[in-house]
């Protein structure tokens, strides 16, 4: 065999921003998670969450949130809706597309662009960005359903227009399913099977898939229903309760009052918030702590707050935390928050106080 010309090495997985360690008891057992939630969602999370070459943070809560958000809500729900409408309006057979309108051309343009970006990024080992590009198309198809309102077209007996809309949705799903094969092979094959498509990887023409639209044959029989990614909240809650109960039974570690006094907690006001490039979770905050200049703090709160929501908000900051780099950005403190798995809240004060006020 010829010698390799490059070595691809991924970063480290941390747990709650801390290295995995047997002594800390925070080692993740991937086979247990695979058995609990399924192999396909676990593969998706690993590729979606880690930017290749950088470290990434793992938590079961983040995993389940990603499963529910991306797979159950976005993709699974889309797939189920389209199959249901195909069975309801066209006896479960792929209809033929008619004349295209402007919103249809937009779907095709965005779809082909997303597919081309996915192929380009995946080939360069930028798996997280590749999947985000594909999910832009997934989300756009959901939006397209709301824009075109197939149920209203059926009510008004606009059969040709309805057929065009349903065909575009089915063809979009075919392309998405096909490109998910390297990420979730079993689910990809099952999705294609539900669309009536036989899959042979050797016959896939990736270049054509990124440039051509309309390869799905009319008349194919689709599945009556689909439930690819059931939601997992209840399982997560049970796990948390079990873990909490087990933790209490094992031991409770206390800190001394002297150790607690070492923390310097201050009230700060968020002056600005921007997204950290190439990160779905991190926001870069400028926080006024009553000092000569604002502090820059990197916080993993992007899934819960938009930058606009945070402007002017008073928060509690650990101000004497040793500065460190997160995702290449210097962070000079920590914003405190509470998260019970169902809701997320930033710690604040009950009424407005001066920036830099000490918490005691």
- Encode pLDDT of 59-69 as tens digits: 888 888 888 88
Mean pLDDT of the 249-262 span: 74
Mean pLDDT of the 327-333 span: 90
**For the packed helices 30-37 and 39-49, what is the interaxial angle rounded to 10 degrees?**
120
Which candidate, 249, 225, 258, places its Cα nearest to that of 77?
225
Higher pLDDT, 302 or 332: 332
In this prediction the pTM is 0.64
What is the pLDDT, as a whole number, of residue 237? 44
The CATH number corresponding to 257-346 among 2.60.40.10, 1.20.120.550, 3.30.230.10, 2.40.50.140 equals 2.40.50.140
Name the CATH superfamily housing domain 13-211: Isoleucyl-tRNA Synthetase; Domain 1 (1.10.730.10)
Average pLDDT, the chain: 87
Confidence of residue 176 (pLDDT cuts 50, 70, 90): very high
Report how far apart, in Å, the C-alpha atoms of 101 and of each of 41, 70, 97 are: 36, 29, 11
SS3 content of the chain, % helix, strand, coil (to 5): 45, 15, 40
What residue ranges do the domains of the chain occupy? 13-211, 257-346
């Amino acid at each position: 065999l010829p010698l390799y010309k490059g070595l691809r090495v991924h970063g480290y997985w941390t747990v709650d921003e801390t290295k995995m360690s047997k002594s800390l008891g925070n080692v993740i057992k991937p086979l247990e998670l695979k058995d609990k939630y399924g192999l396909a969602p676990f593969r998706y999370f690993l590729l979606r969450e880690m930017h290749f070459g950088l470290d990434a943070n793992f938590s079961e809560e983040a995993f389940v949130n990603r499963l529910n958000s991306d797979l159950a809500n976005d993709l699974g729900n889309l797939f189920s809706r389209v199959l249901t409408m195909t069975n309801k309006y066209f006896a479960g057979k792929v209809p033929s597309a008619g004349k295209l309108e402007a919103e249809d051309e937009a779907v095709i343009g965005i779809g082909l662009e997303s597919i081309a970006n996915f192929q380009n990024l995946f080939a360069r080992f930028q798996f997280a960005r590749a999947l985000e590009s594909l999910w832009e198309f997934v989300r756009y198809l959901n939006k397209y359903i709301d824009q075109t309102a197939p149920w209203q077209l059926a009510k008004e007996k606009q059969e040709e227009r309805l057929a065009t809309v349903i065909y575009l949705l089915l063809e979009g799903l075919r392309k998405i399913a096909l490109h998910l094969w390297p990420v979730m092979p079993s689910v990809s094959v099952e999705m294609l099977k539900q669309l009536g498509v036989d899959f042979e990887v050797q016959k896939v023409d990736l270049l054509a898939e990124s440039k051509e639209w309309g390869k799905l044959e009319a008349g194919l029989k689709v599945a009556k229903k689909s439930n690819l990614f059931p939601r997992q909240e209840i399982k997560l809650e049970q796990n948390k309760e079990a873990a909490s109960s087990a933790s209490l039974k094992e031991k409770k570690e206390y800190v001394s009052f002297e150790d607690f006094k070492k923390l310097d907690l201050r009230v700060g006001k968020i002056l600005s918030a921007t997204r950290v490039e190439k990160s779905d979770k991190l926001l870069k905050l400028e926080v006024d702590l009553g000092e000569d200049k604002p502090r820059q703090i990197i916080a993993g709160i992007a899934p819960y707050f938009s930058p606009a929501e945070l402007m002017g908000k008073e928060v509690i900051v650990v101000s004497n935390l040793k500065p460190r780099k997160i995702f290449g950005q210097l962070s000079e403190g920590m914003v405190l928050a509470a998260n019970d798995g169902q809701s997320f809240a930033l710690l604040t004060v009950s009424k407005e106080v001066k920036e830099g006020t000490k918490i005691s």
